Structure 1
Amino acid sequence: MAESVQYLLIGSTEPYTGKSAIALGLADLFQTKGLKIVYGKPLATDMGDGEGEDASDADLQFIAQTLKLSHEQLRFPILTLDETTIRQRLLDKNQENYPQSLTSYLQKPSVDLILLEGPRTLQEGLLFDLSVPQMANQLDASVLLVVRLHSHLALDDLLYAQKDLGKRLLGIVINDVSPDELEITTSEIQPFLEAKGIPVFGVLPRNDVLRSVTVKELVKQLKAQVLCSKERLDLMVESLSVGAMNVSSAMKYFSQSKNMAVVTGGDRTDIQLAALEKSTHCLILTGQLPPAPMVLSRAEDLEVPVLSVDLDTLTTVEIIDRAFGQVRLHEPVKVEAVNQLMKEYFHLDRLIQRLGISFPVTAMN
């Protein structure tokens, strides 16, 4: 089996495309086909985004548990990209041959497929010869790119990636497509890319569950004080609402969303009470103003966490907006969501054909 092992490297042209989610969903699909896989992440990153060796270890352990992988089927990072390792490289104190280390790191696998998650961009890791194109060349690996098309300008990035990767580029997955962009993506962008020789293996619509964030993560991002219901910080927040209007308008506004984080001034008792009667999973009070006792009492009754932040409303909203879609896939509900999306919208048989994988006769269920 080792002689015919295939390498598939999951990459992206920019951070936060949902690469980890797609890789996990793809691994699940391969396993249902009866393939034995190795899953790895050669390069970990710690560049101010809360990642790093410990986080990568936690990510891989979660993946191992979710996919029921043995220790032999996991490959932990051979390098963490951070200020220390970069400085050592610049000062000639780190002269390790990482391409050679990569080959050793993956040698003799008794599996059908080695699935590797690349760094956040195509360029990241160049200093250590561990960028996606370099790893693909070293391993003779195919590359699947996960992209978010924020605008038509993102097409330039894809066309550049095609030139950079050449025959290594297997194709792409377009992820997190908003409802109003779905039609143009499938009727115009996808045919254009296919005509340019870039296969599109899936167009995945936006999913609120996958973009959601735990209240605990919001507490961390906002450096917030938890005023009540500390035991409910595992609640998932799927949408953001700002309470800056009169109560009548607020009630109509809040009725249009579910599993909300509601941001409002600490002195807006009327808005706070109105929000608690709707689908609110978290109440965030700005201006470091203490809420009325009746608000905390009602929040306790409903088990809704109330947070207090020493920030203005605009800054609070900006921080929460950044948090959506940029959190790890550590909740089972997210795993279920991505697996369902992949089953419904990802063209696995076409990918299998392009990879040239030979499957076991008997597929596992």
Structure 2
Amino acid sequence: MGVLYITSQNDGVGKTTLTAALVGILKDSGKKAIGLIPSKEGDLVDTEREILSRLLGEEIGGPSYSSKDTLISAIVDAGAKSDLVIVEGPGTVDQADHIDIVSKTEAKAIVVSDFTDGDSCLEFARNFGSALAGVVINCRTKYGRTEMANKLIPVFEEAGIPILGVIPEDRTLLSLTVGQISENLGGKFFCGEHRSDRLVEHFMIGGFGMDPGQYVFSTRNKKAVVVRGDRPDVQMSALQTDMECFIMTNGLEPIEYVKYESDEEDVAVIIVETNTLETMDRLASLQKLARFDHPEKLERAKTLVSENVCVETLVDPEQI
């Protein structure tokens, strides 16, 4: 059997995203891979695994990580049913245990690291020795391409550690749904609650400016527009562009014509009691709540991994 063991030095760097993307890519190509995401009882991972199973259309296994031996046995059992097992290493164990699991299952380790962490994972990756397949750098910032090419890649190359891919930061993966935004702001739907599963990638404020409103709003797609409920002029300008929802502040409801046009344009309207500045302050802290929990995120992750990671090398059991 072939086993890929996806691990990291730090939490929240994209292990789950990479695991799900690889399983999804293999499924789309007609191949069979089993994904395993171990957890402790009652762990948040249990919920994440259920979400991934629903997104992928097949069960993601979840052995309880009560001991190394439990996980090793689960990997071996899964390997008997599939050509490739993709394991997301638990984040609650030390590296010595990761190394032991990799050794006893004859797995290849993939270390995932965030671009902002620089080369801090070098020693962690090096400790896997010959079992290391390489490193995947995630969330490379929009303007980080030069730093990646001129600073980070040479450091990894000099250390003899392969970089399997560099995945750019992506708005879709960092987004929340209209419903999640409403819930976290304590808002209520004035209309369009059935659109609560739409992803919002940008936030814009409706207000005074020198440029025409429609021009300003057209610079961003898949957006939420934050505006006072008593500004139908701004609201109508926004409705001429691609958007997902209004967040109307100060507890003010829009006029009937704006509601009608919002329904016509398939745009949800959320009412919040806070003012515009307070609302934007609260929105600024929401990104950390983003999770890998939406079909569009899975499709985007598969595309990003396919385009930026050496998938063929990783998923070929003969090379593992």
The two structures have a TM-score, normalised by structure 1, of 0.74
Q: Give the residue type in structure 2 aligned to 1:102.
A: L
Match in the other structure for 2:3: 7
Is 1:358 matched with 2:314? no
Instruction: Give 1:26-41 correspondences, 5 Å limit.
Output: 26-30=22-26, 36-41=32-37
Cα offset, 1:282, TM superposition? 0.9
Q: Alpha carbons of 1:35 and 1:194: their partners in 2 closer, same or farther (altered >3 Å)?
A: farther
CA contact (8 A) 1:16 1:326 kept: no
Match in the other structure for 1:62: 55
Structure 2 residue matching 1:161: 3-state secondary structure: helix
Is 1:290 matched with 2:257? no
Among the aligned pairs, what percent are the same residue?
Answer: 25
CA contact (8 A) 1:142 1:169 kept: yes
Cα offset, 1:144, TM superposition? 1.4
The two structures have a TM-score, normalised by structure 2, of 0.83
Instruction: Give 1:1-365 correspondences, 5 Å limit.
Output: 5-30=1-26, 36-43=32-39, 51-63=44-56, 65=57, 69=58, 74-78=60-64, 98-108=67-77, 109-110=79-80, 111-119=82-90, 124-126=91-93, 131=94, 133-140=96-103, 141-150=107-116, 154-162=117-125, 165=128, 167-246=130-209, 248=211, 250-324=213-287, 327-351=290-314, 357-358=317-318
CA contact (8 A) 1:247 1:274 kept: no
Q: Alpha carbons of 1:281 and 1:31: their partners in 2 closer, same or farther (altered >3 Å)?
A: closer
Cα offset, 1:323, TM superposition? 4.0
CA contact (8 A) 1:212 1:324 kept: yes
Cα offset, 1:308, TM superposition? 1.5
Cα offset, 1:324, TM superposition? 4.3
Structure 2 residue matching 1:264: 3-state secondary structure: strand
CA contact (8 A) 1:35 1:113 kept: no
Which consecutive unaligned segments of at least 5 residues does structure 2 have?
Answer: none
Question: Across the two proteins, how many residue pairs are aligned to each other?
Answer: 314
CA contact (8 A) 2:221 2:243 kept: yes
Cα offset, 1:331, TM superposition? 3.5
Superposed CA RMSD in Å reads: 3.1
CA distance in 2, matches of 1:132, 1:291: 56
Indicate the larger mover: 264-273 or 298-307.
264-273
Q: Alpha carbons of 1:321 and 1:173: their partners in 2 closer, same or farther (altered >3 Å)?
A: farther
Structure 1 residue matching 2:214: 3-state secondary structure: helix
Structure 2 residue matching 1:208: 3-state secondary structure: coil
Runs of 4+ off more than 6 Å: none
Cα offset, 1:6, TM superposition? 3.1
Structure 2 residue matching 1:294: 3-state secondary structure: helix
Indicate the larger mover: 305-314 or 163-172.
163-172
CA contact (8 A) 1:56 1:77 kept: no
Indicate the larger mover: 274-283 or 17-26.
17-26
Cα offset, 1:332, TM superposition? 3.4
Q: Alpha carbons of 1:318 and 1:157: their partners in 2 closer, same or farther (altered >3 Å)?
A: farther
Q: Give the residue type in structure 2 aligned to 1:287.
A: N
Which consecutive unaligned segments of at least 5 residues does structure 1 have?
Answer: 80-96, 360-365
